[in-house]
Amino acid sequence: MTHTRAIIRSTGAYLPEKIMTNDDLAKIVDTSDEWISQRSGIKSRHIAADDQPTSDLALRAAKQALENAGLTAADIDGVIVATTTPDSTFPSVAVRVQSALGVPPGIAFDVQAVCSGFIYALSVANNFITAHQAKRILVIGAEKMSSIVDWEDRTTCVLFADGAGAVMLESSSDADADDQGIMSAHLHANGDHADILYTNGGPSTTGESGHIVMHGREVFKHAVTLMSDVVEEALSHNGLSASDVDFLVPHQANLRIIEGTAKKLKMSLDQVVITVDRHGNTSAASIPLALHEAVSDGRIQRGHTVLMEALGAGLTWGAVIAKF
């Protein structure tokens, strides 16, 4: 029997022109290349222009995903954007992208699960497609984290950055569908940990978006355990072991967390896509950016089993396993 599966038809990405190195940051706050590299693995990051909103980053990544799929906006019936840094409180970044691309009226909305946002958005899009409510959805992760960091707080401003990545998710019901596409998605949240990573403002409290406040050690403590747990959950749900996975595409928050997760899963670092050294933590954009890089340079190929996982503020965490 053939089932409808959501397949990843193409990817796209966009990184702002401006590159900020650790040495550049050391001129702004009391930090050093050595501290940032050792603690996080980050060497440089991209920062959007002051007049460049998140929707601009999202639009550029979306255009590339469309082009790489050989499709036009008229072929799409949905846009879902994972972001925690929208242009404005409303309307969503998704409707701005929909309008700029000329996508016909269908579904368009944002998903806010911070660094897990792309995993949540991919899962939601997968549900729309497998429920036959949409055929092709652009799933985008886009962030201008530089707009919500306190540039005087060295504990956070050295970590976060800007960028966007996109995938074209498409319904496939042909005979091969069972061997392709999203196999399962696993989402979790625990609001008891809301106070270890948050912004100190918002529309209904201060009237401003606020800045990121992070108790890094607390987040770190949960990160490796929860991400390894959700990866195990995804593998066992599909009767797979880590050795069946060709590539792990983790959220890029910190190289030590990525290495810790890979070690727990007994995966070689050659099988892990790492961009945090050049991208920093781009929150919901980090996974689609990394996925696009590994697809573009030929590491991830058709037929490969790819496991994506993330943890972010909330806490929220999740994993998606897909046959590419």
Residue 245: both structure tokens together? 């996975």
For residue 110, give the nearest of 99, 88, 128, 95 by alpha carbon. Answer: 95
Cα–Cα distances (Å) from 116 to 19, 264, 285, 304, in that order, read 24, 20, 9, 23
Using the rule CB under 6 A, is 155 a contact of ligand ACO?
yes
Residue from 22, 171, 254, 261 touching ligand ACO (CB under 6 A): that is: 254
Catalytic residue among 251, 254, 279, 292: 251
Region 89-128 residues binding ligand ACO, contact defined as CB under 6 A = 114-115
Long-range interactions of 240-243: CB distance < 8 A, separation 24+? 240/305, 240/321, 242/266, 242/267
Region 42-71 residues binding ligand ACO, contact defined as CB under 6 A = none
CB of 199 to ligand ACO, least distance (A): 9
Q: Which stretch binds ligand ACO (CB under 6 A): 122-130, 163-171, 218-226, 231-239?
A: 218-226
Handedness of CA 109, 113, 116, 120 (dihedral sign): negative
Using the rule CB under 6 A, is 252 a contact of ligand ACO?
no
Catalytic residue among 115, 126, 186, 292: 115
**Residue 137: strand pairing partners:** 78, 169
Using the rule CB under 6 A, is 197 a contact of ligand ACO?
yes
Catalytic residue among 68, 126, 254, 281: 281
Using the rule CB under 6 A, is 227 a contact of ligand ACO?
no
Q: Which stretch binds ligand ACO (CB under 6 A): 202-210, 219-227, 241-249, 268-276?
A: 219-227
Q: Which stretch binds ligand ACO (CB under 6 A): 59-67, 127-135, 152-160, 164-172?
A: 152-160
Spatial contact of 80 and 42, defined as CB atoms under 8 Å apart: no
Nearer of residues 66 and 227 to ligand ACO, judged by Cβ: 227
CB of 247 to ligand ACO, least distance (A): 21
Using the rule CB under 6 A, is 39 a contact of ligand ACO?
yes
Residue from 20, 158, 273, 308 touching ligand ACO (CB under 6 A): that is: 158
CB of 257 to ligand ACO, least distance (A): 6
Identify whether 251 is a catalytic site residue. yes
Q: What is the DSSP string of 249-310?
A: EE--S-HHHHHHHHHHTT--GGGB---HHHH-B-GGGHHHHHHHHHHHTTSS-TT-EEEEEE
**Nearest 10 degrees: CA dihedral of 168, 169, 172, 176?**
80
Interatomic CA distance for residues 272 and 249, integer angstroms: 6
Nearer of residues 109 and 220 to ligand ACO, judged by Cβ: 220
Nearer of residues 36 and 319 to ligand ACO, judged by Cβ: 36
Identify whether 115 is a catalytic site residue. yes
Q: Which stretch binds ligand ACO (CB under 6 A): 70-78, 124-132, 179-187, 217-225?
A: 217-225
Site map (CB under 6 A) of ligand ACO, residues 230-249, x = contact? --------------------
Identify whether 281 is a catalytic site residue. yes
Helix (H, G, I), strand (E, B), or coil: what is residue 188? strand
For residue 61, give the nearest of 126, 135, 124, 144 by alpha carbon. Answer: 144
Interatomic CA distance for residues 85 and 114, integer angstroms: 9
Q: What is the DSSP string of 117-184?
A: HHHHHHHHHHHHHHTTS-SEEEEEEEEEGGGTS-TT-HHHHTTB-EEEEEEEEEEE-SGGGGGSEEEE
Residues forming the active site: 115, 251, 281
Contacts to ligand ACO by CB under 6 A? 31, 35-36, 39-40, 114-115, 154-155, 158, 197, 216-217, 219-220, 223, 253-254, 257, 281, 283, 312-313
